[in-house]
Structure 1
Amino acid sequence: MKWSYYFKHWLTTVFLGSLILVYSMNSSSSFFTVSIEIYLFALLLSGFFSMPTFTVLAFVFNYLDEYEIDVKTVKTLLISITLLGVPLTQWIGLNDISLEITISYSLAAIISGMLFKLKRKDNHE
């Protein structure tokens, strides 16, 4: 499988999840009045807190790459691991689970996981 899917999924989840979170926290104001500094701060924190989940995901991705498993099954498994990792990372790192954060990043993970195509490597050996 091509690693481009993994990195696209990770970056899109972090960027889109931060955007959804900042908007949901400031839902009373207009979408364009949200401060860029708040978004950048959320982006920095989400990048940091996403590392454990996406490290596990990288190992699973590498392991599944060795087997001839259906691409849809692999995508479903990778998205599911990401969905499980969002509240688990909050619980381990912060000892608390925020519903807003969980919904924001889970929604972003589902969207980004389904948005990109997962392709197998071309084996010309």
Structure 2
Amino acid sequence: MNVTLHGRKVVPGVAEGEALVTNERISGWGGVDPRTGTVIETRHALRGQSFAGKVLVFPGAKGSSGWSATFHMARLSGAAPAAFLFNEMTTKMALGAVVTHAPSMTDFDRDPLTCVETGDWVRVDADQGLVEITKKKDRLAK
């Protein structure tokens, strides 16, 4: 079963990749190793997992404005997410998305946290405001 979401473009572009999903916000300053894209925040559900090259689906940013510096460094090191899908637009989240240059979207017609699971294949077309989700179980069945 494929699922389509409609949302608002934050950063233009098209990207696709495996989804990495968390219901927890991520701290940009001290919560991420920008060299590897690995979440290092203590007690975070994604601790030890890398978002490099994945579609990161999460509520949004938390913490200080370190988001822009951290995600700029992640882009330069090749460890940035392929795309961002998030629920709450803040200046931290906007800055992180812009410096990463990754297609980014928010303001969805349905909550992506209820539609996307880690391992699903996600195509983000921010220019058209579309997210196409191929469920992991359907990909594995082929």
Question: Which bracket does the TM-score occupy, shorter chain normalised?
Answer: under 0.3
Q: Highest relative contact order (Cα 8 Å, sep 6+), 1 or 2?
A: 1
Counting strand residues as a fraction of each chain, which structure ranks higher?
A: 2
Please report the TM-score for the alignment, with normalisation by the length of structure 2: 0.22
